[in-house]
Chain A
Amino acid sequence: KAGVTQTPRYLIKTRGQQVTLSCSPISGHRSVSWYQQTPGQGLQFLFEYFSETQRNKGNFPGRFSGRQFSNSRSEMNVSTLELGDSALYLCASSLAVQGHTDTQYFGPGTRLTVL
Chain B
Amino acid sequence: AQSVTQLDSQVPVFEEAPVELRCNYSSSVSVYLFWYVQYPNQGLQLLLKYLSGSTLVKGINGFEAEFNKSQTSFHLRKPSVHISDTAEYFCAVSDRAGGSYIPTFGRGTSLIVHP
Give A28-44 as 1s and 0s: 1 = Cβ < 8 Å from B's Cβ atoms. Answer: 00000000000000111
CA distance A108 to B104 in the complex (A): 20
Q: Which A2-52 residues sit within 8 Å CB-CB of chain B?
A: 4, 42-45
Min distance, Cβ A104 to any Cβ of chain B, angstroms: 7
Known A-B contacts A4-B43, A92-B43, A108-B41; the reply to A44 vs B105 at CB < 8 A is yes
For A106, list chain B residues within 8 Å (CB).
36, 43-45
Q: A100–B94 contact, CB under 8 A?
A: yes
The interface-forming segment of B18-26, B66-74, B77-85, B95-103 is B95-103
Query: Can you name 25 A-B pairs with beta carbons within 8 Å?
Result: A4-B43, A42-B105, A45-B103, A45-B104, A56-B100, A90-B43, A92-B44, A99-B32, A99-B94, A99-B100, A100-B32, A100-B101, A101-B32, A101-B49, A101-B51, A101-B94, A101-B101, A103-B46, A104-B44, A104-B46, A106-B36, A106-B44, A106-B45, A107-B43, A108-B42
